[in-house]
Structure 1
Amino acid sequence: MRTKERTNGSTSILWSTAVATALLAASFSPRNAAAVEVSAGDWKLTAKGNVNVYYIHSSCEDERSLGVTGGLACRGAAGEDKSSSVSNGLLPAALQIGAATTQKGLDLAVTFGFYPGISTNDGSPNLQQGATNLNTALGTTAIDMRQVFLTIGNDKIGEFMLGRNLGLFGGDAILNDMTLPGVGAGNGNYAAPANTSLGSIGLGYIYADWYAQMNYTTPNLAGFKLTVGIFDPLEPIGALISTPKSSPGYHGKIAFKSDVFYASASYMSQKQNRPLNFGDYTGHGWDIGGKVTIVGLEVLGWYYQGTGLGTTALFLFGATPLGQERDSDGFLAQITYKFGDVKLGVNYGQSKLDLASGELPSDLVEKNEKYTAGIYYSLTENLTLIGEYSDIKATAHNNIENKSDNFNIGAYLSF
């Protein structure tokens, strides 16, 4: 196949060669201590990622018992209250490709993040809408394209980020969750597994999610950085109809980093339309937290609070069918200790959802909570062997309880 080329034909050849070299290096190098880097003229191409695989065994709530709507304790199915899976953990596998250069004093970069799972799944990688019995022969796995963004800036003026990337609200909580390379809470019954588990999502923080946004981050100011931006407004999960929004969503974050301490606080706000032309309401929330690291000991805590945001995912159960906002809050507490190549850790989290004013008690979830104990062994610089045990409990507003637990063992290899 021929491609039209004008004055930059040699650059096209360099790009093609660089991409091929990067892919070959990633494929055949037995151990990669860092991301692959290849120069192509004034550009630098990088490739990095991971593959993680776990055996996950879950003991779920009996399917004959009453269920908690929005509860995260898994439930049995087809007469079975136990399930087994070979699956990804909280992270899918990943391949992140980037290109960067400096022009007229500005650092320019683009990033593409490909996140394939290993579970057979012919539908959406996460929602699995439509089909049933997806885990059959002749199936395939889907690619979750989470990241597509560009950055512009330098050390003096700060940085602009435009594109699809991780959200600010709840972002630091999930990035510092010890179960991020592992599993944490399993993703329920594994007859048709999703590509990822839950970690502590909905069990200490709301999922930050990936969405289109435009942000500006200040230069480093004595350890502080401030980020402000807008994002493509999100519809409530389960909404019967999509409605146009008159304004974008807004979010911001302030963070401080030193040698032993990291802390941040974030905020997000977005208007939602009430059904039947009953006006609109503003869903908003904030979180705050940090961690202290002294030698091998790390102590972490994060807290969030929201109105109209819901629980587990953004705008899930955030309001009644008539648009009355529900309040929510939660926290994640964690301690890890590393000695030599071994890290031991335990975390506990809970997420609570209040009823709206005048709303009657029902089987809607009031609280999801979990603790996880894990061991993380660095067999090599890039290969970590992981074993975890998690215990999950869901409680409804009418006092129904569901309980489950899961154990996982597997490996996480990054490059």
Structure 2
Amino acid sequence: MKNILPLLVFLLFASSACAAITLYEVEGTTFSADGSFNTFYVYSDSDKNAAMEAAIGVGDREQSRVKMGFLPNWIGFNFSKQIGDLKLGGRSSFWVTINDSDSNITESGIDTRQFYGTIDGDWGQILIGKDFTLFNRSNIFLDEILLGYGNVSDTLGLIDGGGVSFGNIGTGYTYPFPSAQITYRSPDIAGFKLAIGIVDPSRTQANGEEHAPRFEGELTYNYNFGPGAITLWTGFLSQKSDSTQTGNSVDTNGVSYGARLTIAGLALHASGYDASGLGFELGAGADTTLGLPVIDATGDELDSEGYLLQAAYTFGPVRLVASYGENELDGDVGVADWENETATGAIFYTVNESLKLVGEYNINEISIGSAEEETKTIALGAIVSF
């Protein structure tokens, strides 16, 4: 087995949590910008057993890098205009890798992850365009180490200089890959909000055809009480891809769920997902393209599941985080079992509203059948945002 995730795939994302800078605001029309820039010094130590060394053709390695973290650097632009009872808006964001010195020779990759328009009214919102999808969306947006570093492994080609770390992608949730979509979001009704959309489907069959889009949805509930708040959510995904050659089909279905509780400075997070035909890391389409298993040798869908448990405590400018996550793929005919787990301890220090410092220690363990690798990582970084 060769390294399965090419370093070209710098996938991670972020919410627009920064306070955008308003550049123009006249007669109901606004234009604003936001951005984030991060860099980490990273030291990783990868230990493999003999089966893993034989599988990927790489022995034990230590690696020092200066690179971006879980999130690439990005700049975003926001637009809105009130016209009668409707508010029309849009967002475009461009995500940039700074890891171009090792092999790409300053050819920085630019990834457009958001490019959409919105129509808002009293009845809710319709989004048209490209955005992060809904399945596992809150699982990752509410991850306590979203601004940190997270898991890497040599098996997945992540400890070198060309790609981001994976945060808890593959060790707690799968990635809600930005895709073309038409999504409706309801207004807040007693703390409940529903998002449901049709998404450009993923092709999981060679020479495949998709007779319907992918359907995704997420229901969230928010409740504030005294010194705290609770957020609950559940989501779903469903699609089908048929082969024009064999007549076989791959049905991809999944359920995601989670809860986040905050009381004073304490935050607790528990989330997970259960799916079939989805894959292990990045969702059905990306995992299929990268050669990661979605079906077994007979064409049957493989089951996968994951969960993430976290605790965080904030006092003054300091935020301490402990995190553990795990994904499993149940192997079948011709496919070994996969297991990937990550334990993380992190400290975030807020210097001011636009500057954070991060220190993190991470242990990732991945196994594919009898092949095993353990990677220990120290990451020290800074994040400037506006």
Under a length normalisation based on structure 2, what TM-score does the superposition of the two structures give?
0.86
For the 8 Å contact 1:120–1:141, the answer to whether it is kept is yes
Q: Which residue of 2 aligns with 1:401?
A: 372
Q: Which residue of 2 aligns with 1:252?
A: 217
Q: CA deviation at 1:281?
A: 3.0
In structure 2, the CA distance between the partners of 1:224 and 1:190, relative to structure 1 (3 Å rule), is closer
Deviations 1:150-181 (A, max 9, x none): 11012x21000111101111111111112211
Q: CA deviation at 1:67?
A: 5.1
For 1:193, the aligned partner's letter is: G
Q: Which stretch of the first structure deviates more once superposed, 317-326 or 173-182?
A: 317-326
* Aligned counterparts of 1:387 and 1:221: Cα–Cα separation in 2: 40
Residue 340 (str. 1) matches residue 316 (str. 2) = yes
Residue 382 (str. 1) matches residue 354 (str. 2) = yes
Partner residue of 2:175 out of 193, 203, 207: 207
Partner residue of 1:113 out of 64, 72, 93: 93
Deviations 1:331-372 (A, max 9, x none): 00000000000000111011011123xx25x5x342111100
For the 8 Å contact 1:55–1:85, the answer to whether it is kept is yes
For the 8 Å contact 2:207–2:245, the answer to whether it is kept is no
Question: What percentage of aligned pairs have identical amino acids?
Answer: 28
**Within-5 A mapping of 1:152-301:** 152-154=119-121, 156-186=122-152, 188=154, 193-236=161-204, 241-259=206-224, 260-274=229-243, 276-301=245-270
Q: CA deviation at 1:138?
A: 3.9
**Within-5 A mapping of 1:352-391:** 352-356=328-332, 359=333, 364-391=336-363
Q: Which residue of 2 aligns with 1:36?
A: 21
For the 8 Å contact 1:286–1:305, the answer to whether it is kept is yes
* Aligned counterparts of 1:99 and 1:187: Cα–Cα separation in 2: 39
Q: CA deviation at 1:303?
A: 1.4
Q: Which residue of 1 aligns with 2:13?
A: none
Q: CA deviation at 1:391?
A: 0.5
Q: Which stretch of the first structure deviates more once superposed, 255-264 or 292-301?
A: 255-264
* Aligned counterparts of 2:88 and 2:198: Cα–Cα separation in 1: 21
Q: Which residue of 2 aligns with 1:87?
A: 67
Structure with the higher fraction of residues in strand conformation: 2
Q: Which residue of 2 aligns with 1:140?
A: 107
Q: Which residue of 2 aligns with 1:410?
A: 381
For the 8 Å contact 1:264–1:289, the answer to whether it is kept is yes
Q: CA deviation at 1:330?
A: 1.0
For the 8 Å contact 1:162–1:214, the answer to whether it is kept is yes
Q: Which residue of 2 aligns with 1:96?
A: 76
In structure 2, the CA distance between the partners of 1:234 and 1:48, relative to structure 1 (3 Å rule), is same
Q: CA deviation at 1:300?
A: 0.6
Number of residues of Structure 1 aligned to a counterpart in Structure 2: 355
* Aligned counterparts of 2:158 and 2:189: Cα–Cα separation in 1: 47
For 1:351, the aligned partner's letter is: N
* Aligned counterparts of 2:218 and 2:135: Cα–Cα separation in 1: 8
* Aligned counterparts of 1:68 and 1:52: Cα–Cα separation in 2: 35
Q: Which residue of 1 aligns with 2:5?
A: none
Q: CA deviation at 1:379?
A: 1.1
For 1:410, the aligned partner's letter is: G
* Aligned counterparts of 2:119 and 2:163: Cα–Cα separation in 1: 32
Under a length normalisation based on structure 1, what TM-score does the superposition of the two structures give?
0.81
Which entry has the higher C-alpha Rg, 1 or 2? 1
- In structure 1, the gaps of 5 or more residues are 1-32, 70-74, 122-134
SS of alignment partner, residue 97 of structure 1: strand
For the 8 Å contact 1:187–1:193, the answer to whether it is kept is no
* Aligned counterparts of 2:368 and 2:47: Cα–Cα separation in 1: 14
In structure 2, the CA distance between the partners of 1:190 and 1:368, relative to structure 1 (3 Å rule), is closer
For the 8 Å contact 2:38–2:73, the answer to whether it is kept is yes
For 1:386, the aligned partner's letter is: V
Q: CA deviation at 1:262?
A: 0.5
Partner residue of 2:307 out of 314, 320, 331: 331
For the 8 Å contact 1:275–1:323, the answer to whether it is kept is no
Q: Which residue of 1 aligns with 2:9?
A: none
For the 8 Å contact 1:212–1:232, the answer to whether it is kept is yes
Q: Which residue of 2 aligns with 1:16?
A: none
* Aligned counterparts of 1:204 and 1:136: Cα–Cα separation in 2: 31
Q: Which residue of 2 aligns with 1:55?
A: 41
* Aligned counterparts of 1:352 and 1:323: Cα–Cα separation in 2: 19
